[in-house]
C-alpha cells in the first residue's frame, strides 16, 4: 500500500485484525514450519505492518525482525509490542534491499506483500539471500468473502468508472501464482495449506471505513479526488440498501500459508 498515515495504520490494524484464537493458530503453523537445527530460530517478516502476524510469535518468545518501509505502520507495531520488545528488532527498510547479512535468518515471512511490489523478484531474491540453508519462506494470505462487502466494492468501482477510472481486481491472486511459478523454477516445492477458516461479524460502518481508508490494494491507484467524490455516493447507497451503519453482517474469512523450504 502507499505510505500510510497514522490514522490509516490504526484503521488497518483494527479492520484486518485476527481474533486471538485465529492469531494463535497462524503462529502455531508458522512455528511448526521452522527447522532451526538446534539454534534459536530468527524470523524476519517483510512488510510486517502493524504486527498482526508478528505479535503472537513474539509472545511465544521467537526472535523477530519486523521490516517495513512505512514508519506509521511500524510505530503502531512498536506501541502494540511495548513490553515484549526484548527479542524484537524493528527495521525501517525496503524489502527489496534488506539490510541484513546473507544466511542470517531461519524463516522469512511475507503476508500480503508481493502484489504491492511491481518488482517483487528483487524482494524474493533478497529473501533467499538472507535465509540460512534449510530455512523456510512462509507466504501467507487472507481470503474474505461477504455479500455486503462485494456489493459495496462493486458500487465503489462503478462510481469511479463513471469518472473514467478503471481499477484492476485480482492482482493479489495473480501475483501469488507468478511467485509460485518463480519458486518452482528455482527448484523449490511450495506447499499451500489452509491454516484456519472462521466467520465473523462486521458492521456496515467498518466495511465502509475499509474502503474509505483504501485498505484494499485495488483502491489505491485511484486519484484521491475521484475517490473522495465517490465516497458520499457510496455512503448514500449503503444506507439506502442496508439501513443503519451499525447493522452487522457475516464475513467468511480464512488464512492460507505457503511453505517453501530451502534444501
| Residue 187: HSE in the Cβ half-sphere, 13 Å Cα cutoff | 3
Q: Which of residues 113-172 bind ligand SAM (CB under 6 A)?
A: 113, 116-117
Q: Which span sits near ligand SAM by CB under 6 A: 26-34, 41-49, 176-184, 220-228? A: 41-49
Q: Is residue 10 involved in binding ligand SAM (CB under 6 A)?
A: no
Q: What's the rounded Cα separation, in Å, for the pair 71 and 211?
A: 22
Q: Which span sits near ligand SAM by CB under 6 A: 65-73, 81-89, 182-190, 247-255? A: 65-73
Indicate the residue among 210 and 238 with the shorter CB distance to ligand SAM: 210
Q: Which span sits near ligand SAM by CB under 6 A: 78-86, 92-100, 189-197, 225-233? A: 92-100
Please select the residue that binds ligand SAM; options are 28, 35, 94, 155, rule is CB under 6 A: 94
Please select the residue that binds ligand SAM; options are 16, 78, 155, 247, rule is CB under 6 A: 16
Burial of 240 from C-beta contacts in 10 A (0-12 / 13-18 / 19+): exposed
Please select the residue that binds ligand SAM; options are 25, 96, 171, 229, rule is CB under 6 A: 96
Binding-site size for ligand SAM (CB under 6 A) equals 20
Q: Which span sits near ligand SAM by CB under 6 A: 24-32, 63-71, 130-138, 183-191? A: 63-71
CB 48 within 8 A of CB 78: no
248-261/131-145 β-pairing: antiparallel
Please select the residue that binds ligand SAM; options are 70, 139, 212, 213, rule is CB under 6 A: 70
Angle subtended at Cα 63 by Cα 62 and Cα 69, rounded to the nearest 5 degrees = 120
Please select the residue that binds ligand SAM; options are 8, 22, 58, 95, rule is CB under 6 A: 95
Q: Is residue 1 involved in binding ligand SAM (CB under 6 A)?
A: yes
Burial of 16 from C-beta contacts in 10 A (0-12 / 13-18 / 19+): middle
Q: Is residue 91 involved in binding ligand SAM (CB under 6 A)?
A: no
Q: Which span sits near ligand SAM by CB under 6 A: 24-32, 44-52, 155-163, 203-211? A: 44-52
Please select the residue that binds ligand SAM; options are 11, 22, 29, 52, rule is CB under 6 A: 52
Shortest distance (Å) from residue 105 CB to ligand SAM: 15
Task: Return residues touching ligand SAM (CB under 6 A).
Answer: 1, 16, 47-49, 52-53, 67-70, 73, 94-96, 111-113, 116-117
Amino acid at each position: 500500500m502507499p505510505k500510510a498515515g497514522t490514522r490509516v495504520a490504526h484503521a488497518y490494524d483494527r479492520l484486518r485484525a485476527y481474533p486471538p484464537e485465529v492469531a494463535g493458530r497462524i503462529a502455531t503453523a508458522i512455528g511448526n514450519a521452522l527447522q532451526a537445527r538446534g539454534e534459536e530460530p530468527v524470523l524476519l517478516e517483510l512488510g510486517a505492518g502493524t504486527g498482526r502476524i508478528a505479535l503472537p510469535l513474539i509472545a511465544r518468545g521467537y526472535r523477530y525482525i519486523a521490516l517495513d518501509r512505512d514508519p506509521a505502520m511500524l510505530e503502531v507495531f512498536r506501541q502494540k509490542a511495548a513490553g515484549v520488545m526484548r527479542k524484537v528488532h524493528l527495521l525501517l527498510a525496503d524489502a527489496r534491499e534488506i539490510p541484513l547479512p546473507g544466511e542470517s535468518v531461519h524463516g522469512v515471512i511475507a503476508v500480503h506483500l508481493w502484489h504491492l511490489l511491481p518488482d517483487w523478484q528483487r524482494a524474493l531474491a533478497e529473501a533467499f539471500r538472507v535465509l540460512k540453508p534449510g530455512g523456510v519462506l512462509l507466504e501467507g494470505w487472507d481470503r474474505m468473502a461477504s455479500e455486503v462487502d462485494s456489493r459495496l466494492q462493486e458500487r465503489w468501482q462503478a462510481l469511479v468508472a463513471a469518472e473514467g477510472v478503471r481499477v484492476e481486481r485480482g492482482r493479489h491472486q495473480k501475483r501469488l501464482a507468478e511467485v509460485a511459478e518463480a519458486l518452482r523454477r528455482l527448484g523449490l516445492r511450495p506447499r499451500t495449506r489452509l491454516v484456519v477458516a472462521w466467520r465473523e461479524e462486521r458492521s456496515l460502518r467498518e466495511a465502509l471505513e475499509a474502503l474509505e481508508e483504501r485498505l484494499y490494494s485495488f483502491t489505491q491507484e485511484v486519484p484521491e479526488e475521484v475517490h473522495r467524490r465517490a465516497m458520499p455516493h457510496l455512503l448514500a447507497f449503503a444506507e439506502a440498501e442496508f439501513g443503519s451503519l451499525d447493522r452487522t453482517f457475516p464475513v467468511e474469512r480464512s488464512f492460507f500459508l505457503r511453505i517453501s523450504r530451502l534444501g
